[in-house]
Amino acid sequence: MEITIKKIDTPKSHPDESNLGFGTFFTDHMFCMDYTKGIGWHDARIEPYGPFPVSPATMVLHYGQTIFEGLKVYKKEDGSAQLFRPRDNFARLNRSADALCIPNIDIEEAMQGLEALLEMDKEWIPSAPGTSLYVRPFIIAMDPYIGLKSSPIHRLMIILSPVGAYYPEGFNPVKIWVSPEHVRAVRGGLGEAKTAANYAASLYATEIAQSEGYTQVLWLDGVERKYIEEVGSMNIFFVIDNEIVTPKLNGSILAGITRDSVLKLARHQGKEVIERRISIDEVFTAHEEGRLQEVFGSGTAAVISPVGMIKFGDREITVGDGNAGPISSGLFKDLMDIQFGRSEDPMEWIVPVK
């Protein structure tokens, strides 16, 4: 694939690495490629990062035909950089594409685009402890047309954002709130896809949770409102009777790459891990009987996010002693060590950045 390159005239100054936050700074360049029905993907290019003109009729603005991914580039102590399972992200982008009638991309072409972009913006990969370069690939429906149909024109873009350490004040547990009313997704809907609609649908309940003093919503299944699905935009794990349990993928749960990495790494370490349905009642019963040891979320942004409290109706429980437990802390460290190249990569997850 040929990539046309247009460099920025005046490179931007880099932000302070001790104050990056998440998703507010962007690098000098972006990768773009267009799709036209009958032609396929074409015009791969790297251009200066910045706004681009869209018609007010552009389909994505009205009907939400769009998908995205999120992954990170990690700087090693020797100054080289590496990606974690990037092809799994592009493969998932294609699964999301199928759900939204968006054309698939060629995974190797997307990798080539990402690698060329990283080559140009590698100075932007931060090196302060815990920081990384977040990669956001996305596809948007670009046809300027306000009738409802699947767009014949799409654009793939990849933008890069240097991000801070997720736990600047330590690995602190969050408080989560079970919504009695709102659902994120249902089987047969879009829950398995990383698409705008699911996040728009989660905002209202998240605001209620936050106004009640909780950080995230614990989502139950949309049909019986009984079985646990996800927490915020993370997958969720429980440690009950020394066994690690996570909800089995069912069509409305997003198949997280961190989730899969936790499952594989824990099994590699000889731990018991089970994927099955788990109800909120079972979790509260396990807690009453003293068998609920740990709860944690998993996702690219935080890697592992320990849960300290769960509120459901008028009941609230503290998980363990309210602090991160040994299994969450151990998996957090082991995954981060692989991602930052501090330890062996027994699963061949790492792709070095050239």
Task: Assess 259 for contact with ligand PLP (CB under 6 A).
Answer: yes
Closest CB to ligand PLP among 44 and 176?
A: 176
Binding flag, residue 72, ligand PLP (CB under 6 A) = no
Q: What is the DSSP letter of 124?
A: G
Q: Which stretches of 232-326 are assigned E, i.e. beta strand?
A: 235-240, 243-247, 273-276, 292-299, 303-312, 315-318
Which of 29, 72, 175, 194 forms a contact with ligand PLP (CB under 6 A)?
Answer: 194
Binds ligand PLP (CB under 6 A): choice among 254, 278, 283, 319: 254
| Cβ atoms of 160 and 121 closer than 8 Å | yes
160 forms part of the interface with ligand PLP (CB under 6 A): no
Taking the least distance from each CB to ligand PLP, the nearer of 58 and 216 is 216
Q: Should residue 299 be labelled a site residue for ligand PLP when binding is judged by CB under 6 A?
A: yes
Binding-residue pattern over the window 12 to 51 for ligand PLP, x denoting contact by CB under 6 A: ----------------------------------------
C-alpha span between 179 and 103 (Å, rounded): 35
CB of 270 closer than 8 Å to CB of 302: no
DSSP 286-303: HHHTT-EEEEEEEETTTE
Is there binding between residue 339 and ligand PLP (CB under 6 A)? no
CA distances in angstroms from 251 to 40, 185, 191, 233, listed in the order given: 29, 9, 7, 15
Rounded distance between C-alpha atoms, residue 98 and residue 120, angstroms: 31
SS3 call for 158 = strand
The percent helix, strand, coil of the chain (3-state, each to 5) is: 25, 30, 45
Structure tokens at 318: 């503290």
- Closest approach of Cβ 298 to ligand PLP, in Å? 6
Selected from 162, 222, 256, 341, the binder of ligand PLP by CB under 6 A is 256
258 makes contact with ligand PLP (CB under 6 A)? yes
Among 234, 266, 278, 307, binds ligand PLP (CB under 6 A): 234
Of 65, 131, 300, 328, which lies in the binding site for ligand PLP, with binding defined by CB under 6 A?
Answer: 300
Binding status of residue 235 toward ligand PLP by CB under 6 A = yes
Residues that bind ligand PLP (CB under 6 A): 70, 194, 230, 233-235, 254, 256-259, 298-300
